[in-house]
Chain A
Amino acid sequence: MSLTFDDGTFIRNEMVQPLPPPRRQVGALGWVRENLFSSVLNTVLTLAGIALVALILPPLVRFMILDAVWTGENREACLGPEVGACWPFIKAKFGQLIYGFYPIDQRWRPNIVFAAGILLMVPLLVPSWPLKRLNSFLFFVIYPVVSFVLLTGGNIDASAFLFEHFGLIHSFVGDVTMAGVNATFWVDYVLTAIAAAAFVGGLLALLGGSGTGAARTTLWVFLAFGALVLAWDIDFGLPYVETRQWGGLLVTLVIAVTGIVASLPLGILLALGRRSQMPIVRLLCVVFIEFWRGVPLITVLFFATYMLPLFLPSGTNPDALLRALVGVALFSAAYMAEVVRGGLQAISKGQYEGAMAMGLTWSQMMRLIILPQALTLVIPGIVNSFISLFKDTTLVLIVSIFDFLGQLRASFTDPNWATPVTLYTGFAFAGVVYFLFCFGMSRYSLFVERRLNTSHRR
């Protein structure tokens, strides 16, 4: 390389070619030196870490595996000195931990729900697999309805309840049943739908909006709701299993999945509402969010279970699990709203202006431009909420719903398995199960985050 120096002036004759970076870490030893013992502080920290692992790991392994009892029929197997985990206890109680008091001969129903859930969720989670639209429709629309019918047994007579309030021709004709379906109710339903559509459409047309569009939307809502009522009304011949008999992991998953699936869209709507230009919408959203964030979940559950019935008209007594579900969903929606709002605030004004200048409507702008970016930014916060919701489901124990942990604690009282290690075994098992779910969610969120990070790729 020839460079010309002359009293400070400088002209480069030849460009410097790029070289490979210096190799500091040569081999495993080099890596260890670089990463573990690069300074005095790091050396101390490394040694302390090794000491900590040495302190915790061997007893853990000994308790969980080496000293553990693997076979046995009752407490006798797990008595004696120096005994580790009593796995036969978990084995004996396994059905209870998964299904609660769900009738044993009906356990195939939750099994189908579990299997279908996995079958539908896995392809949804793998981004490269096709048919996402159909898949989401099946998972978010069909699956909940089918699960509800399977788990409860369906055959809910919605018409009886609705008639008390909305019967149009019922009072003249009475019940006419055709092929196991209450024909009077459905004629009534169609009439109500048409009337409602006409009313909404007419009202919007008067206010200067699109009357036919509104009427069509109303009809669609009625159609969807009607399909739901019909599906739940049909008698599939399944014995009715009331929710009080549900328990264990089944309840934990029902509450967690419903809470997660309901809280995200609700939270997004609340966050958008809170940032809305319309003062009344904004006020309502702020009041809602602050109310739910201001009360503890235990209070919410208590209120929903023990106090709500006092305010409702007599005769209407929604299911206890349903009330807890609604409570959990609204509660986590309020938290979700604030997480999403954080993401919305990080989107620059330029993105809104760019979208508006192109002529996109408000909903297109939000759906296509703002929310995809905002939600990607707050994936860690969203998954944080999901994980804490998953673990908080265990609070339903205080309103006598036995989730996984509740069922576990109930099984401790069984005198057949009363040993000194039963408690430790149970909690160790619960810890492993909760960890698997939460760690899974956490890893998946990291994967999604990396995948969606297009903005700063260079």
Chain B
Amino acid sequence: MSDTHSIVPSDELPAVHTAPSREVAVELVGVHKWYGEFHVLKDINLRVQRGERIVICGPSGSGKSTMIRCINRLEEHQQGTIVVDGIELTNDLKRIDEIRREVGMCFQHFNLFPHLTILENCTLAPIWVRKMPKREAEELAMHFLRKVKIPEQANKYPGQLSGGQQQRVAIARALCMKPKIMLFDEPTSALDPEMVKEVLETMVSLAEEGMTMLCVTHEMGFARQVANRVIFMDAGQIIEANEPNAFFSNPQHERTKLFLSQILH
């Protein structure tokens, strides 16, 4: 783990190469979900290897956020099985807590806790969930804050930081739990254009370290550089899944072609 990383997400730089292992990190089999009468997720089947990096894209309302939120039970699925890190998700609260401990998540709107300082935001879960001594938790938090390059903000409140800084804090906060899997739910969608890069850089360096990642994002440069697989979703189902080069240069499904032509000008 180094504090310096120079890779900038751009098409010219070589893609990140850390091969995923054979071990399964997340597996969704025949997952269905309804919001009342509305069928949001339809027969989702997805297997994510440990160390694999998945980018999920698709039009809004296609169920991509809902799908990754099912993985840590922020949303409940009604049919099918979801196995995360060898634990099957059921209504058992103990299992849900066990899974949430191992799965970090970053949100579109950061969801930092505004009444706590940056450092307190980061140490909260290690102290209360992992029962780590306060000092140790603070050292850990400072380590990850240095990694996302904002150690000097540790004693400020989230409201005093820019959007990009807040999202990097959110990533550091998730990392403080030493998760095995990271979920990103449109982490750059709420950011000013100038701040997208700093967040993506952080995510790239995370990918280089072999973190298992599922990212809902429309940053196609990031997908090309980092993803092992790109998944395209529409109308609550997976339409196409392929490795990024093939996905972008040779999309198979009509809907994928249309989507790509809309976003890649």
Contact = CB atoms under 8 A, between A and B. Distances in A.
Interface of A: 350-351, 353-361, 364, 368-369, 372-373, 376, 452, 454-458
B128 A360 contact: yes
B231 interface: no
A364 B128 contact: yes
Interface string B88-119: 00000000010011011101010111110000
A166 B103 CA distance: 51
A452 B115 contact: yes
Interface string B209-237: 00000000000000000000000000000
A359 B111 contact: no
Contact of A359 (B74, B100, B159): B100
A355 B74 CA distance: 11
- Which of B100, B114, B115 has the most A CB atoms < 10 Å from its CB? B115
A452 B114 CA distance: 11
Given A356-B72, A373-B115, A454-B115, 14 more contacts: A354-B107, A357-B100, A357-B105, A357-B174, A358-B124, A358-B177, A359-B97, A359-B177, A360-B125, A372-B115, A454-B114, A455-B114, A457-B159, A458-B160
Given A350-B111, A359-B100, A455 B157 contact: yes
30 contacts: A350-B107, A350-B109, A350-B111, A351-B111, A354-B113, A357-B103, A357-B104, A358-B124, A358-B174, A358-B177, A359-B100, A359-B101, A359-B125, A359-B129, A359-B177, A360-B125, A360-B129, A361-B97, A364-B128, A364-B129, A368-B128, A369-B113, A373-B113, A373-B114, A373-B115, A452-B115, A454-B114, A455-B114, A455-B115, A455-B157
Contacts of B174: 357-358
Contacts of B112: 354
Contact of A457 (B72, B113, B124, B160): B160
A278 to B, nearest CB: 13
Interface string B164-189: 00000000011001000000000000
Contacts of A355: 113
B124 A353 contact: no
A113 to B, nearest CB: 35
Nearest to B75: A353
B34 to A, nearest CB: 18
Contacts of A354: 107, 111-113
B159 A455 contact: yes
B74 A353 contact: yes
A458 B100 contact: no
A457 B111 contact: no
A454 B159 contact: yes
A456 to B, nearest CB: 5
A368 to B, nearest CB: 6
Contacts of A351: 111, 113
Interface residues of B, number: 25
B188 to A, nearest CB: 16
Interface string B11-53: 0000000000000000000000000000000000000000000
Contacts of B114: 373, 454-456
Contact of B124 (A350, A361, A368, A458): A368
A457 B114 CA distance: 10
Nearest to A350: B111
B67 to A, nearest CB: 15
Contacts of A372: 115
A375 to B, nearest CB: 10
Contacts of B159: 454-458
Interface string B69-96: 0001010000000000000000000000
Given A350-B111, A351-B111, A368-B128, A357 B72 contact: yes
Nearest to A367: B128
Q: Of residues A355, A357, A457, which shows the largest number of chain B Cβ atoms within 10 Å of its Cβ?
A: A357
A4 to B, nearest CB: 26
Given A353-B74, A354-B107, A357-B105, A454 B157 contact: yes
Contacts of B104: 357
A457 B159 CA distance: 6
A48 B237 CA distance: 71
Contacts of B115: 372-373, 376, 452, 454-455
Contacts of A361: 97
Interface string B138-153: 0000000000000000
Contacts of A359: 97, 100-101, 125, 129, 177
A353 B129 contact: no
Interface string B51-74: 000000000000000000000101
A456 B157 CA distance: 9
A358 B113 CA distance: 12
A454 B113 CA distance: 10
A350 B186 CA distance: 14
Nearest to B156: A457
B88 to A, nearest CB: 17
A350 B157 CA distance: 17
A153 B177 CA distance: 54
A454 B161 CA distance: 12
B198 to A, nearest CB: 20
Contacts of B103: 357
Given A368-B124, A368-B128, A458-B159, A356 B111 contact: no
Contacts of A455: 114-115, 157, 159
A358 B115 CA distance: 17
A351 B121 CA distance: 12
A452 B104 CA distance: 29
A125 to B, nearest CB: 20
A288 B164 CA distance: 46
B85 to A, nearest CB: 13
B1 to A, nearest CB: 22
Contacts of B100: 356-359
